Amino acid sequence: MDVVAVLITGGARSGKSRFAEQLAAHRYKRGIYIATSEALDQEMADRIAKHQAERAQSGFSWQTLEEPLHLSEALHKLATGQQTDMEQTVVLVDCLTLWLSNWFFMLDVEHQGSSKLHAVVLALAEQVRNYPYPLIIVSNELGDGIVPADALSRSYRDEAGRLNQAIAEHCEQVFLVTAGIPVDLKRIAYRWEEQ
């Protein structure tokens, strides 16, 4: 299979995570699931437990890693480690927007951390570009809704859009999932060189 990196984006409850897991199971023998969320409250803890149980019951072999911040380093470690048969092991990252929010608030981007955030995003994009094995990344598409009322939320929305663009540039396939229906964006994308 030629496709190595895939970005799957869409709105909340669009079916993007379910599609990502189905795509992984359809194409590969096993998976490493990198979860970027943290159980900061009971609702999130319940949500995480539910997703873990669903993956365990899916019949597909998942190993779960929790990595709320150091995603570039985790991918680098997997790329250079001693694991065998990585060509048939997909890494699924879910999700980039939670990873971004973890950095966004840790760095206090609203007041001082935007240059550090940009460096972290560029490092991740470079790692995605260089990752030699199958990779599926899930992210939220935040720019299609109402413009947020406050500056902090607008800043986060803008950073999420920039992040998605930076990662999509290095992915062979990019899917937009809406109402559970995935659309292969790079297949139908406008090509400047063809005009």
How far is the C-alpha of 106 from the C-alpha of 148, rounded, in Å?
21
The C-alpha atoms of residue 130 and residue 137 are separated, in whole angstroms, by 14
Report the catalytic residues: 51
Residue among 2, 4, 14 nearest 139 (CA) = 14
Neighbour-count burial of 51, counting CB atoms closer than 10 A to its CB (0-12 exposed, 13-18 middle, 19+ buried): middle
Q: Is the backbone peptide bond immediately before 171 cis, with ω within 30 degrees of 0?
A: no
